[in-house]
Structure 1
């Protein structure tokens, strides 16, 4: 049991709170029973977990035990993954949240590159260009997976994929997606041109997505831009089509993640008829 805040493992976990540490060690943290369960379910590269005994030691019925941290620790050890108990003080130090949930895990990053992006006739490639709010990015990733859009590229100006708030909002979807991060618009445009994948942008001034035949654009890369400024000038100039969501009753705009969801589902709806 780890009780010292100066333990090297504690220092290592704390280093993963920052982007620099995550990049150096190619690891990131997941916190909470539900998130750790998602990591196991989606076969993430779970390196090790740390837990407190407060929940694990309580006597429970078989059903309650299966849903408890103690039950999860037993399952994790059965998978051959190391699980180590820590004191509550250590867990508070390790946690990136104000109220630790009693369990966290270290995940090895899965590294992807351009060759992992597969373009087929019905492909929707999602490009996230400059989204800054972690909650927005996480929700976009979760919505994309629900719409069966599992290939995503993040531009350099987008919030860090492994930011704890992004991960919590994604609800584990990152474990089932091929995500390339820190790419330039120019790199993305070259890739799309090579793969004959149409670039289309979501913007306030485009053609209504409900009044056009999107099937003509497939395969396509949907570019969703910054919450305040939209897609970058480069994408606005190079995109083959500009699409928008019609607004009524003097509503100026929608939340970026909500707008992305509408676009993705309408594109998926039309794409099923290819």
Structure 2
């Protein structure tokens, strides 16, 4: 059992709350019973699990059996040590260190029904996590994130995804130019979420591979995506409402695509 706050493992896990350390080690931390169970269910590359058994004895017995079956190492800690490793104010008593999964363009396989989601400079962690969760629920598998988008392994992003990132092919830190080039080479029709666009409900998106681009909360999409050959669409709004939260808007756009294509 880990009982010393000076233990090197404890210090290292606490350091993974910093983006620089996550990038250097290609590791990140997830917390909570549901989150760790979801990681196991979705076959996430878990490196090690740490648990503080103040409660949840029944849950731990079941989870421990699964960890043993999969030969995933685990270790118990006392409550003080666990609090030092945790990034939450009220930790649930379990966390896991997970290997980052790195994808390339070769991992994106386009067919006639493909929908690629492009997130251009999304900065709020809660928005990003909610978008990723919604995208998975809407049948999207591939997500490109441009430079300037919040780190996908930020603890707040991770909590908001509720495990969705384990089933998505995520390509972060891309230039808008690289995304645009890939879309053009793959024959993807580009649809840009824009308040000045045509109503999505009046736009035919029922067939063919496409990429939906959603821009920054305050400034909108990069100029790179504001081309004449990129189709702009908007969500009609009543009562003189000017715009929606980007996560809400992305969900509406994706599900209109789903409705027209009858994915689900």
TM-score, normalization by structure 1? 0.93
Once the two structures are overlaid, the 10-residue window that deviates more, 144-153 or 191-200, is 191-200
Q: Say whether residues 1:82 and 2:73 are aligned partners.
A: yes
Q: Distance in 2 between matches of 1:140 and 1:37?
A: 21
DSSP 3-state at the match of 1:55: coil
- Corresponding residue of 1:61: none
Q: 1:90 to 1:243 in 2, by over 3 A?
A: same
Q: Distance in 2 between matches of 1:157 and 1:198?
A: 24
Q: Say whether residues 1:215 and 2:206 are aligned partners.
A: yes
- Corresponding residue of 2:234: 244
Asked if the contact 1:3/1:90 (under 8 Å) is kept, the reply is yes
- Corresponding residue of 1:112: 103
TM-score, normalization by structure 2? 0.96
Q: Which consecutive residues of structure 2, in runs of 5 or more, have no partner in the other structure? A: none
DSSP 3-state at the match of 1:54: coil
- Corresponding residue of 2:197: 206
Q: Where do 1:108-147 residues align within 5 Å? A: 108-147=99-138
Q: Distance in 2 between matches of 1:85 and 1:78?
A: 18
Q: Distance in 2 between matches of 1:238 and 1:227?
A: 22
Q: Which consecutive residues of structure 1, in runs of 5 or more, have no partner in the other structure? A: 59-64
- Corresponding residue of 2:87: 96
Aligned with 1:193 (options 177, 184, 192):
184
Q: Distance in 2 between matches of 1:50 and 1:272?
A: 42
Aligned with 2:219 (options 221, 224, 229):
229
* Aligned positions, number: 263
Q: Say whether residues 1:167 and 2:151 are aligned partners.
A: no
Query: CA deviation digits over 1:98-135, x for unaligned, max 9?
Result: 11110000011111000001111111100000111100
User: Segments of 4+ in structure 1 off by > 3 A?
Assistant: none
Aligned with 2:257 (options 240, 256, 267):
267
Q: Distance in 1 between matches of 2:254 and 2:60?
A: 36
- Corresponding residue of 1:45: 45
Q: CA deviation at 1:79?
A: 2.1
Q: Distance in 1 between matches of 2:190 and 2:184?
A: 9
Asked if the contact 1:200/1:239 (under 8 Å) is kept, the reply is no
- Corresponding residue of 2:139: 148
- Corresponding residue of 2:30: 30
- Corresponding residue of 1:257: 247
DSSP 3-state at the match of 2:227: helix
Q: Distance in 2 between matches of 1:113 and 1:74?
A: 34
Asked if the contact 1:50/1:86 (under 8 Å) is kept, the reply is yes
Q: Distance in 2 between matches of 1:240 and 1:232?
A: 12
Q: CA deviation at 1:251?
A: 1.1
DSSP 3-state at the match of 1:214: coil
